[in-house]
Amino acid sequence: MNPNYKNILVSSKNDQKNKTEIFFIDNIKNYLENVKLPFALSKSEDLIHNVYEGGFKIWECTFDVLDFLQESKIDLKDKSVLDLGCGQGLLGIYALQNDAKSVLFQDYNSEVLQYFTYMNLQANFKNITEYHKKIRFISGDWIPFIRKVSESINEFCVLNSGSEIKTEYDQEFDFIFMSEVIYKVENYPKIAEIIEKLLKSKDGLCILGTKLYYFGVGGSVPEFADYILKNKPNLKIIEQIEINSKKSNKRAIVLIKKI
């Protein structure tokens, strides 16, 4: 089955005329039935520990980050962006649509990057080959991720069976986007290390969309903030914007900078 695409319009409450349209795969479960995966994934599973980390699903805080970017008029022109735990890649796609210089899409599973992230890129950019030098893919666990960035690894060519793309890869980023990545306490050191090592010191900004508490798995904003305070003195949470839709768990946009 071919993917069916759905579109969303991201707009500001105060500026309804300027909208960003993003297309993404909507028939996820049916589409996955025709994708050969190296692991078995039932229709009810969002995560499989150390095997699959939820990249096929679009988590609700992704839309919170998109709304924040549009509402705050974040200037992405000529900026380098890391979409960490990108899944379907909506945040990175938004950055490219708003003239980002480059986007590194990272997900735990290479299959997510191949069958979802890149498919969404093709749906949003009809002249996708013109963007090949702007995009970069890296999969796998976050422990070796910093090393892979420094070694200029790009899995895009492997995933798409293309010739090598000659370009200079960013070693640090103006923006790091993250959505729903702090659901495991054990991941805090990895995430904090990535922010510390890969976020630019001058004017760099990490934007995290998250639930305040992940009931049943242990992660939470207060615990993550406490970890940063105690272990990363050169990082600072500069703002926490709480979101309460009254329809689900309380959520937040957390902004982190280097000091």
- Give pLDDT, residue 146: 97
Distances (CA, A) of 115 to 35, 128, 196, 205, 212: 8, 15, 30, 29, 30
Average pLDDT for residues 20-47, to the nearest whole number? 77
By DSSP bridging, strand 251-258 and strand 205-211 are antiparallel
Average pLDDT for residues 49-67, to the nearest whole number? 78
Residues 6+ apart with CB under 8 A from 4: 25, 26, 27, 31
CATH class of the domain at 5-258: alpha beta
Least confident of 7-16, 56-65, 198-207: 7-16
β-bridge partners, 209: 179, 253
3-class DSSP assignment, residue 56: coil
Q: Are 162 and 145 in contact (CB under 8 A)?
A: no
Residues 6+ apart with CB under 8 A from 119: 3, 25
Task: Give the predicted TM-score (pTM) of the model.
Answer: 0.91
Alpha carbon distance 92, 221 (integer Å):
23
- Select, from the ranges 16-25, 80-89, 164-173, 246-255, the one with the highest average predicted confidence (pLDDT): 80-89
3-class DSSP assignment, residue 117: helix
- Give pLDDT, residue 44: 58
